[in-house]
Structures are given as structure tokens and as C-alpha cells.
A and B are shown apart, each in its own frame.
Chain A
């Protein structure tokens, strides 16, 4: 476990089966100087496989964002599954959606999501995530990049 008081979110794990969303997110991270790396998965199954192979310390520096309406599964089901897993339940997990339907937001939070944010996944979306998750806060770096910092327990 990382023992420092805070640490940066180094990787954003983004699950979305739309190649357009991935294209836009990649462009935004690059264009908006986001310090975190964006890692894309087409389905939850791929994410889960990645997480299971990821060392535990790296899990604490990762931020999971799953699309609510995946073609073959629901994002909220994936969140619930992760929350049920003791290895992943300390991670910051969230849902993104093309709409901002309050019912979707409510069902997402009930499933265990820490946040619910509208797509596209860009700088503004990350700032909105920080507003919803107390442990997260944005940090402007010297080289004009923005970084998300997670506070320790």
C-alpha cells in the first residue's frame, strides 16, 4: 500500500465499446494536457482481465470509468462486480454516459459507483469527477498539465 498522504492518478481506465468515444477521449487527453495516461477497453471483460493482472499498488493510482450502456453488458453491473471484489473495492470507480439522466445517475451510485459523469471523457469531465469524489482533487502542474491527486485514508 502507498503510505504517503496523497498520490497522483496516473492511469484512467476507460471502458467503452464505441471507437468514436475512444477517439475523442484520446484526442482530449492529448490536447488538454492531462497528466494521467488513458487506457481503453472495449468491454468489461477486458478491463477485468487487466485489473486482475495489475499489481495492487498500481490499482490505487488508477481511476476506472465505465460506459453505462455497453452493448453486451451494463456498466453498473461491472461496477457492482468490482465493488464485490475485495481486491478492487478500494479503487475509485465511476460511470460515464452519453446522457445525464438522473435515473441513470441514481442506479449507478446505488451499484457502487463513486461518481457519474457525462461523456465525452475530457478535462471538464475529470474536474466534475473531482467535485464528486472527496479523495480526488485536480492539481495544476508546472508544465501546464493537469493531474488528479488522490488523498490517502
Chain B
């Protein structure tokens, strides 16, 4: 148990870092958002710690701490086992763990193995928190499904803590907050933001509360508050235990942030709502099914006794302070079980009155709905038998509920129920002061039949009324009523027939209500005379009075008895007669009438005649007799002179003794009369009192039962109204659904009317239930037909039988797709089984996707692409023998497209004869064996040109794979081939050029290096002593150096000339004859030296660089002179035309060039003679070849008719 002042002790023992308040926060679905809003507004400076139990998947790695941590400056940490929480920190319970409070520490335990159990359980944590922290525990239930947290807030409330529930309007999932709210144990209902913002007030006030506890309570304020409550609710809380009252008031003070009781009283005075809230708070609606299970086991045997003893008679039970009804239903279930089940219970005349002053609790009880968490203590078989499962919990079965009559009833003030076999009042009296307890026990005693059963709570006894109840034996909280004599009489009288009813029955004539016949007037007069004579004989002074003492008639002289006293006056004898006769009449007349006997009054004196004595004698007169129709009485006054009665004390006998004796006798008679009257009066008063009391109580009880019944009727009426409202709601929903259905139908029809896709919906009998306009057009189905069969559809060519396709799809239970291909159309048909919401197959949907437009577009694009690519195509239908040739192919062949009606030309007519056979063979293989082919063939175009085409052909096959046609494409590759050939040549040229370049580099490096190396070595020899000393050798060395240097210069000059060939030079028309003449002059010395003859023939003019052709002819003519070994060398220069080419010829009569060297001689530095034979470096002809190649020409060496070499230079026509 917690100490009385936990705040003080915590602070003293642990220091300021220890939280005063422990705040448990339970949340489930939608809790994250609520938590974020809550912590965002929580001030981080309160002496509180916050422990979050958020339902999470057991194996989910939680990011909750991180997410919540972004919303607050407070540290947000995961709970670890045996954690001592700090103030102003938020702790998150990890997944798959339950959390409890144990010895001031947070402990993590294994969660419930039940699959549906929430993890972590807010109920478990709140309960342990409540037990550990008492009124310093705060429970907050946030958004979530289910009812976790409800038991927890109940526990916190019972232990004095504060409970808060999220406002259901702000909760994503309201089930948890609402469930908590329905326990009636929630103090505050707020949005998460408000909870955060107001939290400082909620936890700040208790510090002032402690001061309040330490100071004497202001009784004036308390009384004022009690009066306010009495005025508001009619309930007097004066005799409630002050500690309970004070605790509840303090709770409300926290809620409204009132620092003192006086402040709170001010608030209460200003707000009826606050008084109502306090009233609700004081009504501690805390209960549960089978609370204290052992006690219920004990009561069972007693209930069996009651059932056994009552047999067929009525069983009446009163459950006082029933709260939300759990106890009443618990007892009802026990009775039902003892009776042998629900059906026997229904048949039994049993009433269980269940009362409470809290109308809201009674409302909850009447509904009979309880969340699942409330049924923990209810045995499983009870749940199965007495409850119906409902969303979020269970509802008590109607047959059980019908015998339980709930009503609002103040136990202390309202009349009790009567003739009860059992009263159950558990855990209510503990809140009452002993005085009120005694009052209540007296009521219970009054209500119960003799030896009736009283069932109290675990902490309650009958100490305040031990004389009224006795203990049952072993069970300390079950008592029997002790019968008392008084109570028996009262109850007996209470059930006697009422006097009014009795009198009414007496006015009825026996045998069917016939009245006495009316008397004759004479008889009446005679009877009157007789009556008056009788009265005269008795009186003669008398009064005839009614039962109400009204004077009906006076006889004789009664004036001396009449007098009007001060005060109100009426016509009754009691009012008009003087005393003491008035009193005598008031007493005697009712007694005489009731008992039917004559009653005498006492002898009286009146002041006017002191010597006389007067007495009244009352004679009852039977009903129906006389001139009145009701009970009457005759009051007769008698007077006599009273002699003085003197009692002789001398003891002498004689006259005096006789006189004394007579006087004594007379006095004795008077005394006896007086005693008799007195006795009559006393008895009459007692009887009247008892009757009145019993009558009153009976009326009150009856009234209460009527009230209960009326309330039940009201409840039934409300239930009927509620049912009616529900039915209205259902009706409205149905109407809305109907409208929506109509709207959907209209939309569906609109879609079907406008959708361009052919669609049919058929039922299982293949009747068309829906069809789109497009399908009506496609299949020729009239929209006016009602449920036409699918066979009525007129199928376009190529379409499969619809009925078989639909039947197949329905039999397979899956989609069937069919491609429809026609020459000018393409479509795709899907047949999909159609299922109802319950999964039953109700038909099928046929959907046609028309791809014709796409096909046409694709064909158009293909044609465009073929046109752009110059790709022709052809097709041949083997079945019909018909063929088609595209426009592009006609263009490739070079003929016009034949007019319509003319035959399609045969392609083989345009194929070069060398390819015709190959093409025919390939075509046969394709036709007969389906072997595709690809080949290049020479084409003889219609224009007369020759071309080259590439033909690719492949078979067209049907569904079985049989060849039904041939199709192919033809690509004109004439230009492509030419380009490829040119490319090959260019590549070869490049390769050769590259090789030549490599060789050029090599040769240059080698041939240039040779003279350099020689110069180097020969120069080194000049330093040798032997050479220095030998002048001849020295001279030879120097000579060799000089010769090598000359050779080196020659090589460099030649290379320069060679390299300049590529340089850009001005090109003009050159007269080659002028060029040769110039050379003739240049070589005139050599010509003369060799005795040579230069013969120049006809030479043309060519386009080119003069320097090139000068170099060309100079090298060729120079070589002819240099290598010529004849006496008279002849060099002939000429030209001729070959086609468009110009052929230049330089030939001589020299030794010629061996055949094996005719190509080699054009190589760089390639020579046919050694240096010591003929001087030269081997670049002359290389330069010639390079020049000629600049003009895309060619130079060759052949044998000349002159006997030597002939160089022919071919110059193509320049464009």
C-alpha cells in the first residue's frame, strides 16, 4: 500500500528528480498521431513521468521513440527491465512485451500468449500503476480499437487516481476511448492537444490539495455543497462518509483548477453542470460481474433454497445500488442456472428489481452491453448461454434481461420494495455513515419476507442493525432477516382489502346488483314516526349523525348541548357540540359504527346545571335503514339530577351505608364506562394508526412498483423508439442505396450506350443481360429484345461461336482469350467469367477489342517506312494463286504498276538469267518445306539498267503450321554494293598506303642513317694513327666521307621532292608538250653526253599542277638516259586516249626491266643496280607513282617495242 502522502515521501526519499505523478498512456491504432499531438503540448517541467503502452506488432522494429522524440524536448526512451523512470521523460514500451510497476520500478514481462491479446496491455499496466501509485497515478486512454485500457481506468479510479480519455471526435479510432468512457470512470474527456496543454493544471493542483488535506475542512462549505447537491438531485449526501465525499470533491477541484473548497463552492454555485459532474462523481459506479467470486459461490446454495421454497409462487429480489447492472445480471444468471437454464428462468415468475440513483448507470445497465474485458470473471458457459456476441463486446440475452427491472431509486429516501425474498446491496453501505446504514438496514428488514436473504459486500456487516438480521453461518456477508411481531401485523394489514372497496361491495345488491324497491310514502312516514317515538323513548333529546359526524337530524331539545367555539366551524357534531360532548361524539360514533355496539359516554356536568349530570349514548344504526342510505348513529343525550354522594366514613350501617354503597356502585359504573371508552379510544387510535401506516406504505410500495414498471415501459418505449429510429435509419440507408443503385444503373447504361468497345454480359443461361451499343451494332442485336440469347448474335466473318467460347470460360472458371485476324480487320475477344459478391458464378462478360484501326495505322506506318527505306514487298496466296506487289517494289523493278484488272507481272521476268534458277529453287523450298531464304540477285530493270537486290522471303502459315502463302521484302542494294566495293577499295588503298608509309619510314630511317653512320665511322678513322701517318689512306677516308655527305644531301633532296607532292599547288590546264620541251632544255647536257634522241609525239593538255608533270617527265626521261647502255639512246614520249582516260607513254631502247622487278622498281629506295654500278638513291620512280596517284591515275612498267622499258601513265578524266 502507498503511504498516505506519497508526494511528500517521494520527494523526501528520492529527491526532486523522482516523478510525483506516473502517467500511463494507452494507445492503439491511430495512437501515433494522438501521441504526437499530446507530447507536443506537454510542458517538460512537470514532476511527472510518462509511460506509453502503444499496441504494436510483436516482431516490428519500433521507430516510435524516434518519431515521438521529434515532437518534444523531453528525452524519449525505450523501457528496459527494472527501469526507474525519471521526471520529464517519456518511456516507450517495446514491442512484444507487457509492462508492470513493481517495487517502484518498471518491469517488462512476457505478453499474454493469447493471439488477440493487446501487446502491451494498457489494462495490466494501468492496474499495477493504480495499485502502486494510488492517487498519484494518471491514466490516459488515446485512440485505438478494442477496449484495452477500460479495466485500467476503472482500477485507477478506484484507487483515487485521475483518468483521462481522448475525445472520441478527435480519435482516429474511437473504440478504446469510448470503451473507457462507458465504464463511467473517466474524469476528463479532452483532445490530445488539450490534455497536453492542461496537464500542468492537472498535476499542479494536488500540491494545494495536500494543504487542503492538512487543514480542517470548512464544514460550512461542505454543508453548502451538500445542500447544492440536494437541491440539484434530491439526494442527501449528508450521511455519506466524509472521507469519500471529500475525496470526490477534491477530484472535481482538480478538474476545475479550484485551489480551495470555497473556490470550488463558488464554481458549483455558478454552474449547474459542475454540480451535476460532482453528483456523478459521488455516484461511484464501480462494479463487475461476479465480484468476489467466492461470495457468489456462497449465495448459490441460498438461492437454491429460495427457489425450492417458492415453487410456483413469485420470487422477488432487490439489487440496491446496482450501478451499471453487472451484479444484477450476475444474480440473474445464478438464478437461471439454479432454475435449470434460461428456458426455465423465462417460465418462472421472478422479478429482480435493480436500482441505483445514477440514471446514466441505469441506462448502461438497461442496454446490457458490456465490453469483452468486463467479462473476465464470467464463466465461459455463462457467456455462451446468457450473452449474445456483439461488435466490441457482448449483450445480455433479452430473456435474461427481461426479468431484471432497472429503475432509478434512492435507497435512503424512496419507499422500499416489499415482500422480497432477497436483497443484494454490495459495496454501497461502506460509503454511508452508521446512522444512514441503520436506516437502510431498517428498510431492508421491512422489505424482506421473514427470514429473507440479505447479501452484502465483502467489507460490509450488519453491525448497525444486529437485532434485525442474523448471519447465515459460514458466509460472513449473507444474512437472514429476523422476523418481528410488529412487522408481521403491519404486513398483514397492508394486504387486507381496503375499506373503500369493502364499502363499495356492500352497496352492491346480492345476485347481480339489484337495489331494494323504493318504500311507500306511508311506510316511510310510519317508519319515521316509529323511529321518532323510539328516539323519544330513548332520549328524548338526540342527534342523528352520519359516519362523518354530520348532523342529519335533531330530536328533542339539544340546544343546551350546542355551542360554537372559536375557530373554523362546520356542520359536524364535533364542531357544533360543546365540550366535552364534542369529544365524546368524536370518539364514540366511529367506534359504535365500526363495532356495531352501543357505547355510552361518561357522565358530564355542564356549568348551567351543576347538579345535573349528562351522558351521551351512541346507538349504531344499520345501513339502509331510515331515511338515509349510509351508516348513521343516534346520539342520545340523557340528563338526570345527581344527588350529592357522600361517603360515610363512620362505618355505621344503615341508610348511609346503603347510600354509600349505591354511590360507590354508581361511581364504579361510571368508571367502568370511562375505562371502556378509553380502551375503545386507544384501540381505535392504534388501529387507525396502523391501518394508515400500512396503507401508506402499501401505497408507497405500489407506487414505487408502478414507477418501476412505468420506467420499464418508458425504457421499452425508448427501445422501441430506438428500434424505430434504427429501422428509419436502415430505411433511409436503403433509400440511399436504392438511389445509388439507380444512379449506378444509369451510369452503367450510359457507359454501355457510349462505350466504343463491344461488350456483352450474359447470364448462366447465355441470355444477354447487358450489351453496349457497339456490341449491338457489331452483332446486330436489337436493344428492344428482352434477355436475348447469345445465339441471336450475328457473328462477323472470322469470329468464333460465342456460346461455345462463353461456355468454355464458365466451365474453366477463368478468362479465355481469342485473337481474330482477318484480311482487313483485327480484333481480340476476351470472355471472362462473371462472379457475384458472394463468389457465385453468375455469367460471363464478352469483351471485343477492335484492333483494325491500329492495324491500319501500323500498315500505314509500315508502308511509310518501306517507302523511306526503299523496301519493296510482295506476297503470294498459295491457295488462290493471287499475288501482290508493293508500289516500292514496282519502283525497284523499274516498271509501272499495272492497271486494275491487268495481271501481276512475274518477278522472275526481271531477274538476271544467272540468278533465275537459284531463285526458283529457293522459292520451291519455301513453298514446299517452309524454308525461308535470303539471297542477292542481279536485276534487269524495266528501264534497261542492271541492278542488284537483296530478297528475303518467308512462309505464311496457318494455325496448324501449314504454308499458305509466301511473303517477302526486296531491297535495292545496287548503290550499297557499289559503295561497299568502293569502301573495300579505299580500305585496300589505305592499307597499302599505310604499308607504304611504314616502309617509307623504315627505308628513310635506314637509308638516311647509312651515310651518316659511314661519315661517323670514317671520321673516327681519321684519328687513327695509321691513317694519320698514311696520307693515301687518309685521302681515301676523306674522299669517302665527302661521297657519303653528297649521298646524304641527295637523299634529303629527293625526300623533300617526294613529300612536296601532297602539298596544295595551283592546278591549271597544262600543255604537256610545253612541259616536255622545257625538260628537253633542262636535260640538254645529259642528252648531248649520252648522244640521245628525245622523240616527242602528240601530247594533250591536262588539268593539273605543272610542277607535278615536270617532275614526272623529268624523272622518267632522266632514268631512260641514266640506265641506257646503247650507243644512241632513244627516248620516246607520246600519248593516246583509252575511253575517257588519257594514257601518257615514256619508253626507251635501254636494257629494260626484268619482269620480276617491274613492280618493285616503284618501291621506295628500291634499285636494280648497286651504288657502285649506277649512282642513284631509288626514289625517282616512287615519286612518279605518287604524282600519278594524286590524279587517281596509275603507272605501270612494261616492255617497250623499242627494246627497253615502257612506262604507261593512265590519267582518268577529271570531273
Contact = CB atoms under 8 A, between A and B. Distances in A.
A81 interface: no
Interface stretch (B40-48, B550-558, B1014-1022, B1059-1067): B1014-1022
Interface string A93-131: 000001100000000000000000001100000000000
A20 B1009 contact: no
Nearest to B1176: A71
A43 interface: yes
B1167 A71 contact: yes
A21 B1013 CA distance: 10
Interface residues of B, number: 23
Given A72-B1167, A98-B1006, A99-B1006, A20 B1014 contact: yes
A102 B278 CA distance: 115
Contact of A18 (B1005, B1026, B1168, B1171): B1171
Interface in B1153-1171: 1167-1171
Interface in A123-150: none
The prevalent SS among residues of B at the interface is helix
Contact of B1021 (A21, A24, A42, A119): A24
Given A20-B1018, A24-B1018, A42-B1170, A98 B1013 contact: yes
B410 interface: no
A69, A71, A120: most-surrounded residue (chain B CB, <10 A): A71
A21 to B, nearest CB: 8
B1018 A19 contact: no
A27 B1021 contact: yes
A98 B1005 CA distance: 11
Given A19-B1172, A71-B1169, A99-B1006, A31 B1013 contact: no
A72 B1168 contact: yes
A29 B525 CA distance: 209
B1168 A17 contact: no
Contacts of A24: 1014, 1017-1018, 1021
B1171 A98 contact: no
Interface string A11-31: 000000111110110010001
A20 B1044 contact: yes
A119 B1006 CA distance: 13
Contacts of A119: 1013
Contacts of A69: 1006
Given A20-B1018, A31-B1024, A71 B1009 contact: no
Contacts of A71: 1167, 1169-1171
A71 B1006 CA distance: 12
B1013 A17 contact: no
A69 B1005 CA distance: 13
A111 to B, nearest CB: 17
B1170 A17 contact: yes
Contacts of B1167: 71-72
A71 B1174 CA distance: 11
Given A24-B1017, A24-B1021, A72-B1167, A17 B1026 contact: no
A42 B1044 CA distance: 18
B1036 interface: yes
B73 interface: no
Interface in B275-332: none
Nearest to B1044: A20
Contacts of A17: 1170-1172
Nearest to A24: B1017
A119 to B, nearest CB: 8
A18 B1040 CA distance: 11
B980 interface: no
A20 B1038 CA distance: 11
A23 B1171 contact: no
B1010 interface: yes
B1040 A20 contact: yes
A29 to B, nearest CB: 13
Given A23-B1036, A99-B1006, A31 B1171 contact: no
B1170 A72 contact: yes
Nearest to B1025: A31
6 contacts: A17-B1171, A19-B1172, A20-B1018, A72-B1169, A98-B1006, A98-B1013
Interface of A: 17-21, 23-24, 27, 31, 42-43, 69, 71-72, 98-99, 119-120
Given A18-B1171, A72-B1168, A72-B1170, 8 more contacts: A20-B1044, A24-B1017, A27-B1021, A43-B1170, A72-B1167, A98-B1006, A98-B1010, A99-B1006
Please provide the 6 A-B residue pairs with the shortest distance between their CB atoms, ordered closest to farther: A17-B1170, A71-B1170, A20-B1014, A71-B1167, A20-B1040, A98-B1010
